[in-house]
Structure 1
Amino acid sequence: MKNKLAIRTEMKRYLRLLTVFTFITTITSCVQDDDFSVPTSLGNEENQNLQTLLENGTEVSMETVKAMYQEGEVIEQITSDIYIKGYVTSSDFTGNFYKEFFIQDAPENPSNALKVILNRVDSYNQFNPGREVYINLKGLYIGEERVGNGVTTIGGKTETDQYGTTVVALTENQIKTNLLRSQNTTTISPKAMTFSQISDDNIGMLISVDNVEFEDNLEGATYFDPIEDYDTKRTLQTCDGFGYATFPLETSSFANFKDDLLPTGNGLITAIVNKTFDGSTLVLTLNKTEDVNLNDERCSLLDPSDFTVIFEEDFQTAINNTNFDFEGWTNFNEEGNYKWREKTYSGNGYIEFSTYNSGSPVNIAWVVTPAFDMDAQDNEFLNFKTAQHHLDSPENTIELFVSTNYNGTDVLAATWEPISANFASQSDDWYDFVDSGLIDLSSYSGTLYVAFKVVGSGTDTTLDGAYQIDDLSIIASN
């Protein structure tokens, strides 16, 4: 017969085993799997909350929600019965996002996106990419998670320190009552963009960039640099004529792919537009490495020796503060009385269109180049520089167009095709000229004209900024 000490020893062993078994059973039962349907345990409640919201609330746009917060203003609790609908773009499945997710306003071609911060990890099980989500905004706050980071965020309450007031994560109760899923999960179509097109307006959107590769000196490197503490930025590049356009990809130290080697080829990358922790820099953030498809040969830069200049205008003969009237060019005011002007400053000539003090509610002005014979050579590329000053609104725009049926006089009768380029923007310093990059014109034949169009206002002070153009040239292969 066992003595009391042996019995006590076996009882302790049994209790330890029972405790371990109970712990494992509990963990196993609580682990969320990849079944993205509404869990039975809260499905009825969640569905009822959503139905009530749709019946009694008013849907507003993400643009409206963004306008509720302006940096430096008091962050106030939303008291009206309003909601937004969006589609989840990010996932914390790999650990590259933490207690947050982004939603955009449409599965494809979105115009706005927002960040949601919540006190929950592994939210991908509930708020999976593509999930249609309705957010009851009543009782929540719109602001920034960190002062000055420029990322419009939905939070559950606010807190204030010496730097200002920020929003903080939704509680579990708020998640249940305010973040309501529908049964719909749809495929998000990444918005195709170039590096130069990415801006703060795209934060939170799922985008794709083609013809991308990692910087030459990163061969053999991993996504995360072990000498870093939290995040690592790796430079992506695309061949852009004679040089590279670049953009950073940021990876968290908690990402489960942080030690994976960077691919060395060229191809397509799909990621979320995001910002660094301090909000100083736009970055791309991966959901998973399966969204990095760099299996093609690396791109090659153009050789300057293979090209000659077939047209160039540096505007050095400009006469300051006169209407622009260079031979062969068209200076046309579609609306308002102001036209493009010749300008000189510190010995440099350029042209400028400003609506300041024009007195016209709407000012639209075109400047059109002389004609180019696109059949006289091959592989034509356009390049120019732009600068700005006093821009206060993205509606104060400059656009680039080309036409093959312009008759040289009637601008509005021609068919103008918009062309993407890198323009000076509000984020650039006043009067600092920004390079457009090389713009490929080789697909056009016959007679081609290039035009710039600016829209502004002489009465709306947010739209009375100025754009400047300098050093326009077209090159072609020898």
Structure 2
Amino acid sequence: MKTANFYKLFTLILALVVVVSCVKDDEFDVPSQEIEPVTIDQTKVIDIATLRDLLEQEINSNGNNILTFNENNPDNDKYIVGYVISSDEAGNFFEELVLQNDFQNPNAGVKVLADVNPLFTTYEFGRKVFVKLENLSVAFDSGVLALGVRDGNDVAKIAESNLFDVITRDPEVKEIVPLPLSINDFNAELTNLYIRLNDVQFNRNEVLGADPKTFAAEPDDQFDGERLLESCATGATVVFSTSTFADYKSLLLPTGRGTLDGLLTYNFFGDELNVTVNDPTSINFDSTERCDPMEVNCGLVSSVGSNVLFGDFFETQSTGSPISGNGWTNYIEAGTETWEAYFDDGTNASLGISARMGSFNSGDDASIGWLITPEVNFDAQDGETITFKTSNSFSDGSTLEVLFSSDWDGNPATITSATWSLLSDAYVVEDGEFFGDWFTSGNVDLSCITGSGYIAWKYTGSGEAAFDGTYELDEIEIRSN
């Protein structure tokens, strides 16, 4: 027994000696974390702008809304290169990577769909990446250029198991320089770019008053919170969207004014340009001096007087012609469109003959038109009110304001230099309303106004032809006791 135990002990010691002798020292090689430079033949790299051109050529030439880089495609062996401008770290992006073709002064971008979350830990903001096009497909997804795998006539997410083979990181990480734009500059080809808006603010109805809004935590926010962002320089507006899954959805919107860096995109339906951010740190509203318009707000009243000071139901106007006569001033500030009379008995029926203005397919960079009443003396009687009706047709990219001026001299040349205040109590049809319906302004009280003045309806189109719809106006009456 002792001999057997001795041999067991000897065998154990020998095994330990052999194991220890195989280890030369206590330093182990750790796998390298260094990212190697990407070496791809530059003749195999195409620009993201070229990618868009190839898709549009396929759409226009062959009627196909999707282009696949398979073995039958001569560009099957090509790559695109871009810089990451999206981040899902704060939850506002999900399983998508947005790339633009340069870190500064870009002119094209693409959304890459990937079945991976999170992505920011691997493909961080500013990282240069190469995307292999082999067996991928490109199409417009929710209005923006998108890359993924083909799923019928749509693009779907790249599988996680294939992601590193498709998207290769380069060591280069750049500071992304936002592209300065104004809201009036927006168009479809600028989507998927990282932009800067200067001198903007959230609309006063979103952030002021007793119930200011959050980014995306209101009861009626379904998938995205949509808030109105406006330019202090031009008055142009755009929808600012935030996912209801964003970490910061419950934060209140900033009340000030300043710059905003974010991405230009479309809404889910692909029918309205939106601006969004990776997180709120790119919103720098450091000025407390807002640019809200002056307001005339006497309130609303339950009934109106019997004396008509001014009225027009437009029944004497000639359809297809500019509104004229009856003391009207019909002024074109920008573009070629004007307020005109029309008749329609279809789904979007007029109220007999009505007035309308729109810049859809006008070709104008901007359309601004004024329709102004004759002067009204508010000291000659009491109990003044105004009522009117409005409707709209696909007016997402345009606005209609009802304004009052006491210092305009009646000369069209001085309209834009006069002081105009918003009649904030008057209801104007909203974008989400059914286009076939007409909506009343309410009985808008004007009795707090003294002296004389003019009331105007001002139409502003953004210049985005596909979405500058039409506003319709009718049954205008200014009454008093």
Per the shorter chain, which TM-score range?
0.5 to 0.7
Deviation at 1:67, TM superposition (A): 2.0
Task: State how 1:124-163 maps to structure 2 within 5 Å.
Answer: 124-145=120-141, 149-155=142-148, 157-160=149-152
Q: Which residue of 2 aligns with 1:460?
A: none
1:95 counterpart SS class: coil
Q: More deviation in 294-303 or 213-222?
A: 294-303
- Pick from 45, 55, 61: which aligns with 1:59? 45
Q: Which residue of 1 aligns with 2:101?
A: 105
Q: Distance in 1 between matches of 2:196 and 2:217?
A: 24
Q: Relative to structure 1, is the Cα distance of residues 84 and 103 closer, same or farther in structure 2, using a 3 angstrom cutoff?
A: same
The 8 Å contact of residues 337 and 367 in structure 2, kept in 1 or not, is answered as no
Task: State how 1:32-51 maps to structure 2 within 5 Å.
Answer: 47=36, 50-51=38-39
Q: Distance in 2 between matches of 1:41 and 1:284?
A: 41
Q: Relative to structure 1, is the Cα distance of residues 199 and 175 closer, same or farther in structure 2, using a 3 angstrom cutoff?
A: same
Q: Deviations over 1:298-346 (max 9, x none)?
A: 3336779xxxxxxxxxxxxxxxxxxxxxxxxxxxxxxxxxxxxxxxx94
The 8 Å contact of residues 387 and 431 in structure 1, kept in 2 or not, is answered as no
Corresponding letter in the other structure for 2:182: T
Task: State how 1:210-359 maps to structure 2 within 5 Å.
Answer: 210-219=198-207, 220-227=212-219, 228-240=221-233, 244-300=235-291, 346-347=320-321
Q: Relative to structure 1, is the Cα distance of residues 433 and 254 closer, same or farther in structure 2, using a 3 angstrom cutoff?
A: closer
**TM-score, normalised via structure 2 length:** 0.53
Deviation at 1:81, TM superposition (A): 1.5
Q: Deviations over 1:366-397 (max 9, x none)?
A: xxxxxxxxxxxxxxxx9422469xxxxxxxxx
Q: Deviations over 1:128-164 (max 9, x none)?
A: 111011111122111134xxx3211110x2112xxxx
For structure 1, the 5+ residue unaligned runs are: 1-39, 305-344, 350-381, 389-423, 439-470
Q: Relative to structure 1, is the Cα distance of residues 267 and 140 closer, same or farther in structure 2, using a 3 angstrom cutoff?
A: same
Q: Distance in 2 between matches of 1:152 and 1:472?
A: 44
Q: More deviation in 180-189 or 275-284?
A: 275-284
Q: Deviations over 1:226-275 (max 9, x none)?
A: 3222111011112346xx32111101011000000111111111111111
- Pick from 377, 380, 384: which aligns with 2:334? 384
Q: Distance in 2 between matches of 1:472 and 1:174?
A: 64
- Pick from 175, 179, 189: which aligns with 1:201? 189
Q: Relative to structure 1, is the Cα distance of residues 217 and 56 closer, same or farther in structure 2, using a 3 angstrom cutoff?
A: closer
Q: Relative to structure 1, is the Cα distance of residues 387 and 268 closer, same or farther in structure 2, using a 3 angstrom cutoff?
A: same
Task: State how 1:13-32 maps to structure 2 within 5 Å.
Answer: none
Deviation at 1:210, TM superposition (A): 1.2
Q: Distance in 2 between matches of 1:42 and 1:57?
A: 30
The 8 Å contact of residues 386 and 433 in structure 1, kept in 2 or not, is answered as no
Q: Distance in 1 between matches of 2:259 and 2:122?
A: 28
2:87 counterpart SS class: coil
Deviation at 1:202, TM superposition (A): 1.2
Q: Which has the larger radius of gyration?
A: 2
The 8 Å contact of residues 139 and 145 in structure 2, kept in 1 or not, is answered as yes
- Pick from 80, 84, 91: which aligns with 1:84? 80
Q: Relative to structure 1, is the Cα distance of residues 126 and 270 closer, same or farther in structure 2, using a 3 angstrom cutoff?
A: same
2:239 counterpart SS class: strand
Q: Distance in 2 between matches of 1:63 and 1:286?
A: 23
1:123 counterpart SS class: coil
For structure 2, the 5+ residue unaligned runs are: 1-29, 296-318, 324-331, 339-357, 371-410, 420-481
Q: Distance in 1 between matches of 2:32 and 2:108?
A: 30
Q: Distance in 1 between matches of 2:32 and 2:136?
A: 22
**TM-score, normalised via structure 1 length:** 0.54
1:258 counterpart SS class: coil
Q: Which residue of 2 aligns with 1:435?
A: 367
Deviation at 1:127, TM superposition (A): 1.0
Deviation at 1:206, TM superposition (A): 0.6
Q: Deviations over 1:207-241 (max 9, x none)?
A: 11111111111222110133222111011112346
Corresponding letter in the other structure for 1:264: T
Q: Distance in 1 between matches of 2:135 and 2:270?
A: 26
RMSD: 3.5
Corresponding letter in the other structure for 1:151: V
The 8 Å contact of residues 204 and 292 in structure 2, kept in 1 or not, is answered as no
Q: Distance in 1 between matches of 2:239 and 2:256?
A: 17
Deviation at 1:117, TM superposition (A): 0.5
- Pick from 54, 61, 68: which aligns with 1:68? 54
Q: Relative to structure 1, is the Cα distance of residues 42 and 170 closer, same or farther in structure 2, using a 3 angstrom cutoff?
A: farther
Deviation at 1:200, TM superposition (A): 1.0
Q: Distance in 1 between matches of 2:82 and 2:255?
A: 35
Q: Distance in 1 between matches of 2:77 and 2:145?
A: 20
The 8 Å contact of residues 127 and 173 in structure 2, kept in 1 or not, is answered as yes
Corresponding letter in the other structure for 1:63: A
Q: Which residue of 2 aligns with 1:25?
A: none
Q: Deviations over 1:381-421 (max 9, x none)?
A: x9422469xxxxxxxxxxxxxxxxxxxxxxxxxxxxxxxxx
Paired positions, count: 286
Q: Distance in 2 between matches of 1:63 and 1:221?
A: 38
Q: Relative to structure 1, is the Cα distance of residues 61 and 435 closer, same or farther in structure 2, using a 3 angstrom cutoff?
A: same
Q: Relative to structure 1, is the Cα distance of residues 300 and 285 closer, same or farther in structure 2, using a 3 angstrom cutoff?
A: closer
- Pick from 161, 164, 167: which aligns with 1:179? 167
Corresponding letter in the other structure for 2:151: E
Deviation at 1:284, TM superposition (A): 0.8
Corresponding letter in the other structure for 2:116: R
Corresponding letter in the other structure for 1:223: F
Deviation at 1:122, TM superposition (A): 1.1
Corresponding letter in the other structure for 2:50: T
